[in-house]
Amino acid sequence: MAEHTIHFEPDDRYHAFLTICKKPVHGTGVLAGIPVAVKDNISTQGIETTCASKILKGYIPPYDAHVVTKLKLAGAAIAGKTNMDEFGMGTTTENSGFGPTTNPHDTNRVPGGSSGGSAAAVASGMVPMALGTDTGGSIRCPAAFCGCVGLKPSYGRVSRYGLIAYANSLEQIGPMAQNVTDVSRLMQVIAGYDRRDTTSYDRPYTLIPDAHISGLKMGIPEEYFGAGVDPKVATVVQRAIAKLEALGATTVPCSIPSMEYALAAYYVICTSEASSNLARFDGVRYGLAADTKKSWHDAYREVRRAGFGTEVRRRIMLGTFALSSGYYGKYYAKAQIARENVRKDFARILSGVDVIVGPTMPTIAFKLGEKSDPLSMYLSDILTVPANLAGIPAISVPCGKVEGMPVGLQIMGRPFEDERVIDVAFAYEQAVST
């Protein structure tokens, strides 16, 4: 990106934003004057933050999230708050309480989710950079569907202070941009230790991406090219892998047996944590107001029925059931065992290779309304949730198109080796742009 101030001119034909800061405030620093969009589940002092949920309509945080503070210190201009699946629960951004975002490549298709607004804002050129969050693929999915770059950092690499929680043990704030260099640049600003986040590690990020990957070993899991993956998508990704081989990398076939249970384990864990986290939204302290003349039970029930959308209510009920007496051991405890098996499988494979490579998503972006069945929607996350369960870094970089729609190449690495996955993504990006 050129080192000059960029004027933000909103043209939100894709409903990427829920709030636009028409006169964004900025200062001096490495991002001076550059507009950065912020997903609407990240707290912004003085700017409405709703998580795309009616239950938080009108809520204005009294403080900034750690990452927003870091953006301001770097001189960035907060362009606005982006649309998302309500509380981060979705793969299409159709679950927003304020209407869906559309894909800049085809407005009849979804942008992916849950950070669909951030991806659409970047892919359409409205902003060069954005922040998203990734609980089970919510940065990488929309990056793949919209044709931009998105990084899910290692768990603990970026502070979650000020993030309105969905599933604490899985989610991470991460950068999205039009190219790998800008993802790296934004990561340099937001990464590092924060004492207010007990899961935060003192691992600052200072990488200038390097395209030299000769001798790199890439693990290619058979499960990432198996049942459910569109053969056309697989072909595009295999071409991208061949391009990396031409740069001097080598491939190593591998298998992740725990993938069989990863998706089920993820949905038990994330819905259980959501059930606990969202219990605080009662219409009393902030957001949608409860009728205080009614009994607490009636008021609480009514405000949540009116304030939460269908998918959020579904996941709360699923999580409450999984944690309930008599079922905790049958579901939640077993899901944690499966999660540990996923972590061990990735650790085993990554002990012999430098990165693991495959498709980001099994298909191209769906048409609006196409995935009305919740189960079919959940199955779309099969290639992204393992990285969250394992806590490892994963990046999606555009690698071609199918039927005119973008396809993402996913690169995963060892914990806290975010720099390596970014280098590989940069090497690929440079190879195809020359």
Annotated catalytic sites, by residue?
Answer: 39, 114, 138
**Cβ neighbour number for residue 74 with a 10 Å cutoff:** 21
Burial degree of 264 (CB within 10 A; 0-12, 13-18, 19+): middle
State which amino acid sits at residue 117. Answer: G
Residue 329 and residue 306 in contact, taking contact as beta carbons nearer than 8 Å: no
State which amino acid sits at residue 328. Answer: Y
Dihedrals φ, ψ of 26, to 5°? Answer: -145, 165
State which amino acid sits at residue 385. Answer: V
Q: Which residue from 225, 224, 241, 205 is spatially nearest to 30, judged by alpha carbons?
A: 205
Give the dihedral sign, CA 214/188/156/323: negative
> What DSSP state is assigned to residue 93?
S
> What DSSP state is assigned to residue 248?
T
State which amino acid sits at residue 40. Answer: D
State which amino acid sits at residue 355. Answer: V
